[in-house]
């Protein structure tokens, strides 16, 4: 498995950095792409870019303790209507939400990725 960056690094909410990674050994877009998520003072997280995937991790700042949830929304294979066998890429949105005593959407980013 050789993970390589796919496109530029993105910043969400001013502190979350996201790099889309591609596994060159995979031919199925649902298994080939993931998001590498970096937040200060939190171990690096990996989010598979597939329908319905999510990852949650704790964050701390002073006396504040919360949980960030990153989830894949609006997932579709490209070209539109393709099956995993004939897809050449994917499109989705990664949404970052802060959960504590309230729910706050921190931000989101649109992702398009191609196997070719």
Question: Mean pLDDT over residues 34-45, rounded?
Answer: 94
Q: Express as a percent the part of the chain with pLDDT over 90.
A: 59
Q: What is the pLDDT of residues 6-24, one digit of tens each?
A: 989 999 988 899 999 999 8
| Predicted TM-score (pTM) above 0.85 | yes
Three-state DSSP state, 64: strand
Distances (CA, A) of 115 to 8, 18, 27, 37: 16, 19, 7, 21
Q: Please report which confidence band the pLDDT of residue 57 belongs to, taking 50, 70 and 90 as the band edges.
A: very high
């Amino acid at each position: 498995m050789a993970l390589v960056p796919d496109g530029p690094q993105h910043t969400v909410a001013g502190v979350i950095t996201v790099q889309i990674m591609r596994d060159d050994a995979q031919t199925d877009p649902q298994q080939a792409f993931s998001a590498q998520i970096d937040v200060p003072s939190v171990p690096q997280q990996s989010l598979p870019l597939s329908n319905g995937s999510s990852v949650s991790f704790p964050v701390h700042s002073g006396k504040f303790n919360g949980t960030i949830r990153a989830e894949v929304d609006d997932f579709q294979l490209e070209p539109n209507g393709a099956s995993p066998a004939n897809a050449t890429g994917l499109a989705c949105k990664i949404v970052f939400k802060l959960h504590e005593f309230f729910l706050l959407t921190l931000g989101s980013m649109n992702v398009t990725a191609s196997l070719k």
